[in-house]
Amino acid sequence: MIIALGADHGGFELKEKIKEHLIEKGHEILDLGAHSKESVDYPEFGRAVGEAVLDKKAECGIIVCGTGIGISIAANRIKGVRAALCTDTTMAKLTRQHNDANVLALGARIIGDVLALDILDTFLSTEFEGGRHAVRIGKLEEKNCKCGCNH
């Protein structure tokens, strides 16, 4: 599987551990940065990973910042991206089964490395259930702007 990775400076070290873990499992990695702990802006990396997933350059994405919140907000601003911030394996399982999340967000300052890798493995090994959940995903993709501008 090709997996896009992105992180800001706060998520850099965890991103590197995730990258190593995924390579060991035989995945191909599209590392979109950051490439150091030097201060950078998380929206750039959330956007880059989201676009890589939508452009089919990667099958899914993993994004990391200090809390996972900012970078997940950035990714979710892209229509078609369903980034889910997960802090345990149950969240990872259910967001794949019910929400067909295509990007996993993690908070490097919130969870430890071992838990992060467990969440990651659960996310990657869980399939979308479809059915009634597919109808709900469709509703997420509907245009919802009330001003009539069609965006």
- The answer to whether 65 is a known catalytic residue is yes
Spatial contact of 11 and 71, defined as CB atoms under 8 Å apart: yes
Given 21, 27, 60, 65, which residue is catalytic?
65
Annotated binding-site residue? 122: no
Structure tokens at 104: 């996993």
Give 97: exposed, middle or buried? Use CB within 10 Å, 0-12, 13-18, 19+: middle
Annotated binding-site residue? 89: no
Given 98, 133, 149, 151, which residue is catalytic?
98
Annotated binding-site residue? 77: no
Structure tokens at 10: 């706060």
Q: What distance separates the 2 farthest-apart alpha carbons in the chain? A: 49
Annotated binding-site residue? 47: no
Annotated binding-site residue? 99: yes
Q: Residue 61: name the closest of 106, 93, 23 by CA.
A: 106
Annotated binding-site residue? 131: no
Annotated binding-site residue? 136: yes
* Token pair 């990667």 in the structure block, residue: 58
In eight-state DSSP terms, residue 85 is E
- The answer to whether 98 is a known catalytic residue is yes
Annotated binding-site residue? 26: no
Rounded-to-integer distance, Cα 90 and Cα 98, Å: 12
Annotated binding-site residue? 109: yes
Q: Binding site: which residues?
A: 8-9, 66-70, 99, 109, 132, 136
Q: Binding site for D-ribulose 5-phosphate: which residues?
A: 8-9, 66-70, 99, 109, 132, 136
Give the residue numbers marked as catalytic.
Answer: 65, 98
